[in-house]
Amino acid sequence: MPRISASRLGFMLCAFLLPGLIGAFASFSIPAPVIDELHQQEALDAVLAAPDDATQQAAIAALASKVDPDTAALVSNGAGPLPARVAAAEQNMRLEVVAQAKAEAYKIRLMVITMTVLGAVFGVFLMGPDKE
């Protein structure tokens, strides 16, 4: 009966577990920009949906804590009618979300590459030197 090598077993575990763990960790950061956009869109929608002027002013004041600073500034400090300012803020927000998604994708790729190289190095060490 063949003997089971602990180093080969460890290598096989690394070969299958590391990609699974990388994917699991990466999956947590993938939806972050989309969730952020949804929350910001809700805050901007609340400004337009306010039933009276006082509620609208309160929603505009709350933008500072619910959206990016420059997006909030477009609504609160901008000139022109409020629907146009909110539309400009929405466009700015979407540009920032796309930039945020690109940055997250870069970080995920970097993590996958790093973990793959580290897994390969760890696997080589687990295999040990050639025994002839």
d(C-alpha 34, C-alpha 27), whole Å? 13
Q: Are 22 and 115 in contact (CB under 8 A)?
A: yes
For the segment 11-40, the average pLDDT, to the nearest whole number, is 78
Token duo for residue 84: 């146009």
Q: What is the pLDDT of residues 45-103, one digit of tens each?
A: 999 999 999 999 999 999 999 998 999 999 999 889 999 999 999 999 999 999 988 89
107 confidence band (pLDDT: 50, 70, 90): confident
Is pLDDT of 24 > 80? no
Three-state secondary structure call for residue 31: coil
Closest CA to 27 of 104, 87, 96, 82: 104
Q: Are 50 and 59 in contact (CB under 8 A)?
A: yes
d(C-alpha 67, C-alpha 56), whole Å? 16
What is residue 27's predicted lDDT score, i.e. its pLDDT? 73
d(C-alpha 89, C-alpha 52), whole Å? 21
For the segment 15-37, the average pLDDT, to the nearest whole number, is 77
Domain boundaries along the sequence of the chain: 6-124
**What is the percent of the chain where pLDDT is above 70?**
91
For the segment 20-34, the average pLDDT, to the nearest whole number, is 76
Q: Are 22 and 117 in contact (CB under 8 A)?
A: no
Closest CA to 32 of 94, 86, 104: 104
Between 63 and 120, where is the model more confident?
63
